[in-house]
Structure 1
Amino acid sequence: MAINRRRFVIAFVVGNVLLLGVGASIVMGGVAVAVPTAGVGGFTVEFDQLQGEGFQQYASVENNSECAAYPSFTAQIDSGTISGLHLYKDIEMPNGDTMRLSIKSDQTAEFTGLTQKATYLNADLTFDQGQTIQAGAPSADVQDQISLSAPGVTIEDATIKSQAQFVNSITLPGTQVQTTLNPNDSATAPKTACAASN
């Protein structure tokens, strides 16, 4: 049976836009949600400023369909606000075009219980109330080896290549969900090297 690529691409894009719209509707309603995004090959998070309380970051090892293990870091923030938030995923189409699915908020978003697993971070970080670095003895558990924590953190002009993101609750006023064909801009992040292949 022959597959009509044009119809498939249209159905795929429309389905994903509807899925993003439902997710955005739930989030804008202030309902507590956990949104796992692992297994989709990573996505980009950009924002102007994040102010958070209860910050912790530690090394981690993750896996996906391409790597049995790759180095990453996990950042956790108890609560905070984000201004200029833009999340997007670029998808390569069979005809060579690139389709970007994005969620933008032009107002200040508030969140609680943020956990983000990422492989790349380019931003200006300021620890408002001091910071603590803990280094343990060599261990099989990477998380026990080194961690960074602070009562408060400000992150500005951020570009993050994220593999998974979870949040207990978030409000996204002024949210726009849209698709763009062949976007002009692209976040340049180094490709993560596999520590162990599948």
Structure 2
Amino acid sequence: MPHVATTGTFSWRRFLVTFAISMTVLAIMLFVMASQGIALAAPLAGIGGVVLEFDRLEGQGFQLLPVTNDTDRAAGVPMARAKIERLVITDLHMYKDLKVGGKTVRVSITASPVEISGLVQDMTYQQAGSIAFTQQTVDEQRGANPLSMTAPGVVIEDARIIAHYLFQNKAKLPGMKLEVKVID
């Protein structure tokens, strides 16, 4: 009796269902990491700054301190550390440009209004249309933090910030949109 060779079958339906479930699980994991402050504190640290642009930030419990931190190009770079206890950001656009295979890929997140508690941000650049403080205090003293600026309230409008470290205790990103695209 001759042996008949058969070929295997491929089910596109099973493949697509499995692929859709995998991508959904991945998207949920990314969203949870981003909303808990993990996504930017760990993987993006050390590979250049992340750019934050927004129309308006209203914060309570503001503190600004000088620090040194590492970037992708150098260790011990002077930076400004902003700490804000609670804040709301209108029209946040946060993005990171990465070199991948000779091309520049932009990973971009947009959301509004973003609510954050326990923000810590180290930055090397900030440009704003306006910044307003309530009851601002600047304190110069000897010790680990020779200069600090505090204010119970801060309002920043039309800003662009390059941050090398971001952390939030808790973040709500309603209407969050994640986009990955090649920009050159």
Give the TM-score range, shorter chain.
0.7 to 0.9
8 Å CA contact retained: 2:37, 2:171 = no
Among residues 88, 94, 101, which one is paired with 1:87 in the alignment?
94
8 Å CA contact retained: 1:75, 1:115 = yes
Distance 1:44 1:159 in 2: 7
Q: Are residues 1:161 and 2:162 paired?
A: yes
What TM-score do you get using the length of structure 2 for normalisation? Answer: 0.77
Classify the secondary structure of the residue corresponding to 2:77.
strand
Among residues 97, 101, 104, which one is paired with 1:98 in the alignment?
104
8 Å CA contact retained: 1:88, 1:100 = yes
Letter in 1 for 2:137: T
Distance 1:20 1:162 in 2: 24
TM-aligned CA distance change 1:122 to 1:175, over 3 Å: same
User: Larger radius of gyration, structure 1 or 2?
Assistant: 2
Matches within 5 A, 1:8-157: 22-25=29-32, 33-35=36-38, 36=41, 37-95=44-102, 97-105=103-111, 107-123=112-128, 124-127=130-133, 129-137=134-142, 139=143, 141=144, 144-157=145-158
Classify the secondary structure of the residue corresponding to 2:101.
coil
TM-aligned CA distance change 1:76 to 1:25, over 3 Å: same
What TM-score do you get using the length of structure 1 for normalisation? Answer: 0.72
Letter in 2 for 1:171: K
Distance 2:126 2:181 in 1: 24
Letter in 1 for 2:163: S
**What is the deviation of 1:40?**
2.5
Determine the structure 2 residue equivalent to 1:179: 180
Distance 2:73 2:33 in 1: 31
Distance 2:34 2:181 in 1: 22
Q: Which has the higher contact order (CA 8 A, sep 6+)?
A: 1
Classify the secondary structure of the residue corresponding to 1:67.
coil
**What is the deviation of 1:64?**
3.8
Q: 5+ unaligned residues in a row in structure 2: which ranges?
A: 1-24
Letter in 1 for 2:139: Q
Alignment deviations for residues 89-124 of structure 1 (CA, whole Å, 9 cap, x no partner): 0012333x211001111x211111000011100012
Letter in 1 for 2:77: Y
TM-aligned CA distance change 1:62 to 1:26, over 3 Å: closer
Distance 1:121 1:89 in 2: 16
Distance 2:34 2:180 in 1: 19
Distance 2:88 2:172 in 1: 10
